[in-house]
Structure 1
Amino acid sequence: MEQLLAEDRYQVVCFDLEYTCGRNAYDQKVVVAQLCVRHHVLVYHYCLATRPCERFARFVSSPDYRFATVDTINYLKVLETSSMAC
């Protein structure tokens, strides 16, 4: 994704999350994070990870990129529960 974004003027990523079942903003966790740049899609199966991916977390937290999403309030709550920042 970083290589694809290096070619883009605005460096915008479409960011979509799917969650586990649970109480909203309390025990929901990220199951899948989907990042889209132009025609390319990266699907990160967060629930299958045995340990946090530092490079993925660094990418999501980077101020160098713009993330386009619709439901930011719920995303921020669930990301916080999953110990991720965006």
Structure 2
Amino acid sequence: MNYFGEGYINFGYIGIVLFIIFIAYINARFDKLYWNYREKNYFVVFYLIMLSMEIFILRGDLMSSFAYLIDSFLSGIVICYIILSYKNNK
């Protein structure tokens, strides 16, 4: 079941509208952050991961998609932390 189907199963027709508003809000916030702070910022990596994962989220079920999204973000945070700590030690 796709993203909109999950909204329908959870909350009926109102759930479809709520899920659309939620994904639109998240996309707008991330896009605004990307265009305002895109120079030498690690957020660019998260933004690009989020864009690619959004296709996966919209096509598949929400539970497994959310798990992959959290895993990708946590991996990115760990990698950024390692890179920043390595730069600070030099």
Shorter-chain TM-score tier:
under 0.3
TM-score by length of 1: 0.27
Question: Greater strand percent: which structure?
Answer: 1
Q: Look at both structures and tell me which one has the larger radius of gyration over its CA atoms.
A: 2
Question: Greater helix percent: which structure?
Answer: 2
TM-score by length of 2: 0.26
